[in-house]
Structure 1
Amino acid sequence: MPLIDLGGEGVLLAGGGRAILLQLADPAIGHAVAEHSSFATDPLRRLRNTLTYVYALVFGTPAQIAKVTAMVHRAHEPVRSAGYDAADTRLQLWVAATLYDTATVLHSRIFGPLTDADADEVYREYAVVGTALGMPPELWPPDRAAFRSYWEHRLTELRVDDAARGVCRQLLHPKTGPLWLRAVMPAAGLVTAGLLPAELRAAYGLPWSARRARRFDRFLRVTAFVYPRLPRGLRHWPKNHYLRVLG
């Protein structure tokens, strides 16, 4: 399965909160986002920008790829906080890693595991998410086993502090934005908490219990039954929409 098949599935949006909170748990990223982000006034912006970036890299024309790459670099230029530099290849690798891991975890829960050949192909192609930011290609771990070692080690380095928890509250409990967004956030918060590693879930102070775990598992079971049976055009609507808006 090439990335172009996996990456267009709209259900991957359900993992957006997980990817963002994993990124914020690196204090360099967390503090930069807390100081410069627009979560409080535009809670959808970071997710919207991330989706546009990934969709353009995977599905876009050369002009669209150039456009989103330039947009990302312009957005990063003024962002400097203690210990943070958007050109830091280590942080670029971490951002790409959170997007890859989240997509594959959620895809596996909804569609079942990929074959080894498909999983290897998707993994190799996902490096573009980081290299488009400026990450050297050789920094992407050479195979899935190497990535798993990198991932497990990286999780031990994460630290959730007050700055990251503050952005988490803005993300999962927005006070602004459309009514539909605020209406779906309880469900989005449940899915985000359920997809996070238990240690990070606790560090962010996200509520969890046996009852919430059952609700989370039931949600994924229902989604895994219903979603793959939807028309492909409906499943890929977010991708098509964001590419149209990008122009």
Structure 2
Amino acid sequence: MADINIESYIFFGAGAAVAWQLADPGVGRGVARHSQTLMRPFSRLRATMSYIYAVSLGTDEDRATIARHVNRAHVPVQGEGYSAFDRDLQLWVAATLYRGGLEMYELFVGPVPESSREPLYQEAWAFGRTLQVADEQWPPTADAFDAWWESRQLDLRVDEEVRSYLHAVLGNGAPWYLRPALPLQAFVTRAMLPPHLRQMFALPWTPADEKRWQRFRRWAPRLYWLQPRWLRHLPARYFLRKLRQLGK
């Protein structure tokens, strides 16, 4: 996953990954009731992206640092029907990170070569293993994961509390200084979600949106790959540097 997650295009998948996570009732309740996203949006972004970068790009020390940080943040996230230390909920969150990375790769690069599909999946186990998920919880192969993912769709439910939370994250309640960047992120989030999830979250999607999305799919990858490597990889290096300062 390192070759995927070092590229800054993964930021476009952040909103959709959050939506998938919230669609699990346990994750949704825990995040909506305990998250500080709306009060400290950059802190939440930094924590999420630091986790992805530490697990997929960092050293063993980086992974130990982020695990300590996340575990401390999870302590107060407890309530009826949910706990941040629930291994099944952590498995679901880890699965959304793996799947989100693949979707961004397919959008900005192309189909994952068949020879790379299984190795990428095995590497993604680290998203769960770094916390409390046991190896035996993961579906053993990429094909088994796909079947498991489809079966999990039947368990997804969204209530008004979680729905309102996602709408706020996507811009309705965001601080003024983040608003200029949010419309595009919100649009890509809606585009990346399947119809049944858009319906759960009451996210609109029109024929005009579909035309805009097709234009984005055509032009965004071309423009992205015109950027120099140092610029494309700058966010990953920034977040890892901040994480290492945290670990000192």
Q: TM-score band (shorter)?
A: over 0.9
Amino acid at match of 1:108: E
1:183 matched to which residue of 2?
180
SS at the partner of 1:87? coil
2:230 matched to which residue of 1?
233
**Residues 1-247 of structure 1: matches in 2 within 5 Å?**
3-177=1-175, 179=177, 181-247=178-244
Structure 2 CA distance for aligned equivalents of residues 176 and 203 of structure 1: 21
Q: Which moved more, 1:165-174 or 1:188-197?
A: 165-174
- Runs in 1 of length 4+ with deviation above 6 angstroms? none
Structure 2 CA distance for aligned equivalents of residues 40 and 52 of structure 1: 18
Q: Deviations over 1:107-147 (max 9, x none)?
A: 10110012111121111100000011110012111111101
Aligned residues: 244
What is the percentage of aligned positions where both structures have the same residue?
38
Q: Report deviation, 1:237.
A: 1.1
Q: Report deviation, 1:178.
A: 5.6
Q: Report deviation, 1:218.
A: 1.0
Q: Report deviation, 1:94.
A: 0.3
Q: Give the gaps of 5 or more residues in structure 2.
A: none
* TM-score, reference length from structure 2: 0.94
SS at the partner of 1:173? helix
Amino acid at match of 1:200: L
* TM-score, reference length from structure 1: 0.94
CA-based RMSD of the aligned residues comes to: 1.3
Structure 2 CA distance for aligned equivalents of residues 41 and 77 of structure 1: 19
Q: Is the 8 A contact 2:30 2:84 kept in 1?
A: no
Q: Report deviation, 1:172.
A: 0.6
Amino acid at match of 2:64: A
Amino acid at match of 2:128: G
SS at the partner of 1:44? helix
Structure 2 CA distance for aligned equivalents of residues 47 and 204 of structure 1: 21
